[in-house]
Amino acid sequence: MCTRVLWNDNDIAVLAGRSMDWPESTEPLLVAFPRGHARDGGLMAGQAVVAENPLRWTSTYASLVTTVYGIGSIDGLNERGLAAHGLYLKTTELGPRKPELPGLHTGLWIQYLLDQAATVSEALALMKDIQLVMVSAHGFDATIHVAVEDADGDSAILEFADGELVVHHGREFTLMTNDPTYDEQLTLLAAQDFSHPSRDMPLPGNVNAVDRFQRAAYYSALLPKPVDERQAVASVMAIMRNVSVPFGAPYAEFGVYNTEYRSVCDLTNRRYFFELTTSPSLIWVGLDGLDLAEGAPVTAVDPYDESLAGNVTQSFAARNIGF
C-alpha cells in the first residue's frame, strides 16, 4: 500500500514523506551503511535468487535506510541528499529473465540507487543495462514501484509494465500511491483540480489508493509557507498522517492495510524522521552525526525499542545486517 508526498517548492528544505501500509509488521530497522559496502544483488538472506550473472557493486555513498524483513531496504536517503521509496504496485511485471544483463533482485533496488547515485538523473542512468528480478518474502511478491528525489527537488517515478521500465521524470511528480499505474493515477487526478482547493471542494475520504492520492494532492496544495525546518517537517508529517490507514479499518479483504509507520526525509539537512503508529514518540537521525566513513561498521536502531524518543543518532550501534 503506502503513499509518498514530495514538498520541493518551499524555501526551507526539500522534504519527502511516506507511509508504510502492510498486513503485518515489516520488521523495520533503521540502518546506517558506510561508504565502501560490498553487495551482491543476487543474494537474499544468504540464498542465491539470481542464479546467473548477479549484479555486484561497492557502495559509493553512505546511506540511512529502513529495512524490510531483513532482506533489503524500502525507504531512505544517502549522504548526497538522494532519497528513494518503494511502494507496492500489484501490476508490476518485470518480464522474463535475460541472463546477459546483470540481475538485481527487487529487495535491493532501493539500496542500489542510494549506494550509487547522487541525483535523480544518476539514479535513472543506473537502470540502464541491468535487469530487476522478482523475489518474495513472507508470502508476498516484491511488486513495487519506486519514487526517487534529490536535494535539488528533482523527482522521478519508476514502474515496470510488460517487462519495460516506465519513467515519469520531473519536479511536478510529487505524489504517489499504489495501483493503478501512475499514468492512470495522473488521469484520475486531472479530473479534479486540486491546485486551488477550498473548503467547499468535495474530498474523497476512503483509504484506497485513488482516494489517498487525491487527498495528498489537496492537502499538499494547502500547506502554509514554513518558517523553519521544524514546521516544514511537521507539515509533511501531517499529510502522511492524513493519508494513513487507522487501526481496525475493515479493508484487508480489499488489499488495503493498516499503516505501520511514517517517515520524512529532509534532503536539504540530511535528516530522517520516523514514526511508528504504535508509538507516541517521533524519532529522528542526523546523517552528520553518524560514522559513515569507509571501513566503519554498519550500525542500526530498532524503532520498536520503546526507550527511543527524539534524536536517536547516538543510539546507533554495530549490527550485522545480511545484505
Catalytic residues: 2
Other CB atoms within 10 Å distance of the CB of residue 253:
6
Strand segments (E) across 22-80: 30-33, 38-40, 43-44, 47-48, 56-58, 63-68, 72-78
- Return the amino acid letter for 51: A
Radius of gyration of the chain (CA): 18
CB-count exposure of residue 11 (10 Å: 0-12, 13-18, 19+): exposed
| Cell of residue 176, nine digits | 504517489
What phi and psi values does residue 289 have, to the nearest 5 degrees?
-95, 5
Asked whether 156 and 120 are in contact (CB, 8 A), the reply is yes
Buried b / exposed e over 59-79, threshold 16 CB at 10 Å, is bbbbbbbbbbbbbbbbbbbbb
Dmax over Cα atoms in the chain, in whole Å? 58
Residue 313 contacts residue 285 (beta carbons within 8 Å): yes
Please spell the DSSP secondary structure of 98-132, one letter per residue: -TTSPEEEGGGHHHHHHHH-SSHHHHHHHTTT-EE
Q: What CA–CA distance (Å, rounded) separates 89 from 287?
A: 30
How open is the CA angle 125-131-132, to the nearest 5 degrees? 105
Contact between 271 and 243 under an 8 Å Cβ cutoff? The reply is no
> Cα 166 vs. chain centroid, distance in angstroms?
18
C-alpha cell at 154: 528533482
